[in-house]
A = this chain, B = another copy of it.
Amino acid sequence: MVRIAVAGASGYAGGELLRLLLAHPEVEIGALTAGGSAGTPLGQHQPHLLPLADRVLADTTAETLAGHDVVFLALPHGRSAELAAELGPGTVVIDCGADHRLTDADAWTRWYGGEHAGSWPYGLPELPGAREALRGTKRVAVPGCYPTAISLALFPALAAGLAEPNVVITAVTGTSGAGKSLKPHLLGAEVMGSLSAYGVGGGHRHTPEIAQNLSVAAGTPVTVSFTPVLAPLPRGILASCSAPLIGDGAAAREAYAKAYADEPFVHLLPEGTWPTTAATLGSNTVHLQVTVDPDARRLIAVAAIDNLTKGTAGGAVQCMNLALGLPETTGLPVTGVAP
A: residues with CB less than 8 A from B are 12, 15, 19, 22-23, 43-44, 46-51, 53, 166, 168, 170, 172, 174-176, 178, 180, 182-184, 186-198, 200-202, 207, 223-227, 229, 231-238, 240, 242, 267, 269-270, 273-283, 285, 287, 289, 291-298, 300, 302, 304, 333-339
Contact = CB atoms under 8 A, between A and B. Distances in A.
Taking the full assembly, how many copies of this chain does it contain? 4
Instruction: Count chain B CB atoms within 10 A of each CB in A22, A176, A273, A278 and give the residue with the most.
Output: A278
A191 B188 contact: yes
Given A192-B234, A281-B48, A224 B296 contact: yes
A237 B277 CA distance: 19
Contacts of A168: 168, 242, 296, 298
A294 B194 contact: no
Contact of A201 (B53, B172, B186, B300): B300
23 contacts: A19-B337, A22-B335, A50-B285, A51-B334, A168-B168, A182-B183, A186-B187, A190-B234, A193-B234, A193-B235, A194-B277, A195-B238, A196-B274, A196-B278, A197-B302, A200-B240, A223-B296, A224-B295, A225-B296, A226-B296, A231-B233, A235-B339, A282-B337
Contact of A236 (B15, B186, B190, B195): B195
A231 B195 contact: yes
Given A194-B278, A335-B51, A189 B201 contact: no
A237 B293 CA distance: 22
Contacts of A275: 196-197
A312 to B, nearest CB: 13
B172 A195 contact: yes
A66 to B, nearest CB: 27
A278 B190 contact: yes
B339 A201 contact: no
B195 A297 contact: no
A335 B302 contact: no
A300 B225 contact: yes
What are the nearest 5 A-B pairs in CB distance? Answer: A188-B191, A48-B336, A194-B278, A170-B170, A225-B296
Contacts of A172: 172, 195, 229, 231
Contacts of A339: 12, 15, 176, 187, 189-190, 192-194, 234-235
A46 B336 CA distance: 10
A69 B298 CA distance: 47
Nearest to A274: B197
